[in-house]
Structure 1
C-alpha cells in the first residue's frame, strides 16, 4: 500500500479509520463478526435495552448507518428488538447467540488490539485515544 498524506483533517482521520478497520476486520474474520458489529454487540452486552437513538449517540454514529448495521446483526439473530414506551421507540438487546458470537470474537479482538499496538509501537496510543475522544466530544457538541 502506498497511501498519500492528505491535507484535510477529515480525510486524514477517515483514511486512518479505514486502514485500522481493515486490520481489525481481517483479524476478526474467522469469527464472522466485523469490528463495527463487535462494538455494537459489546455495547448491548453492557447496556441492554438501548434505543437506536441512544446507541447512535453513544457510538457517535449516524442513525441511518447504525440502522443498516443493526439490521445485518438482527438478521444473524445476534440481537433482537422490542417496542419501547413510545411505540416509535425501538429497544435492542443482545441474544444468547449474540453473546456466544461475542465470546468467540473476543480473543480475536484482543489479537487485533495487540497487532495494532505492535504496528503503532512508536505512537502514544493512550494519548491518541484521549485525543480522539476529546475531538468526538468537541465536534459532536
Structure 2
C-alpha cells in the first residue's frame, strides 16, 4: 500500500497558512484596537454601496451570521451604523465618522502587513499566491 503524503494536503496547508497570516495581521490591527477580521469588515463596509447583509457576506466569503455578529460589535463600538434598505428587505451598513477615522488609521498597518508578506514571499510568489488563492476561493 502506498502511504498518503499528508504534508501535501491543500486543506491542511491552507488552514495553517490562514492561521499564521491571520495572527500576523491581528498583531498589527490590535495597535488600533481591532482584529484583522474587524478591519476586513470595516474595509468592506466602506466599499459596500447599498449592499445588503447577504450580499456583503457573500463578497467577504463569510457566513451571514458571522458577519452580523461582527457588524453588531462594530456598531457597539460606534464604527458602523445600519439602516433598513429602501425596499425594507435587508439592512445596509455605512461607516460612522469614527469608523472612517479608525480605518484611515489602520490602513498604514494593513499596507505594512501586505509589504511584509510580499517581502517574505518575493514579488513573483506573492502575485502567484494571490492568484492561486483567488482561484481556490471559487471551488
**SS, match of residue 82 in structure 1:** strand
The corresponding residue for 2:61 is 60
TM (norm. structure 1) is 0.85
Alpha-carbon distance between aligned partners in 2 of 1:122 and 1:107, rounded to the nearest angstrom: 19
- Determine if contact 1:28/1:112 at 8 Å carries over to the other structure: no
In the alignment, is residue 98 of structure 1 matched against residue 99 of structure 2? yes
Alpha-carbon distance between aligned partners in 2 of 1:101 and 1:49, rounded to the nearest angstrom: 21
- Determine if contact 2:83/2:91 at 8 Å carries over to the other structure: yes
Please list, as runs of the form range in 1=range in 2, the aligned pairs for 1:58-97 lying within 5 A after superposition: 58-97=59-98
Higher RCO (CA-CA < 8 Å; seq separation 6+): 1
- After TM superposition, which residue ranges in structure 1, 4 or more long, deviate above 4 angstroms? none
- Give the unaligned 5+ runs of structure 1: none
RMSD (Å) for aligned C-alpha atoms: 1.9
Alpha-carbon distance between aligned partners in 2 of 1:66 and 1:46, rounded to the nearest angstrom: 15
- Give the unaligned 5+ runs of structure 2: 1-5
Judge which range, 22-31 or 120-129, deviates more: 120-129
How many residues align structurally?
Answer: 134
Alpha-carbon distance between aligned partners in 2 of 1:93 and 1:49, rounded to the nearest angstrom: 9
TM (norm. structure 2) is 0.86
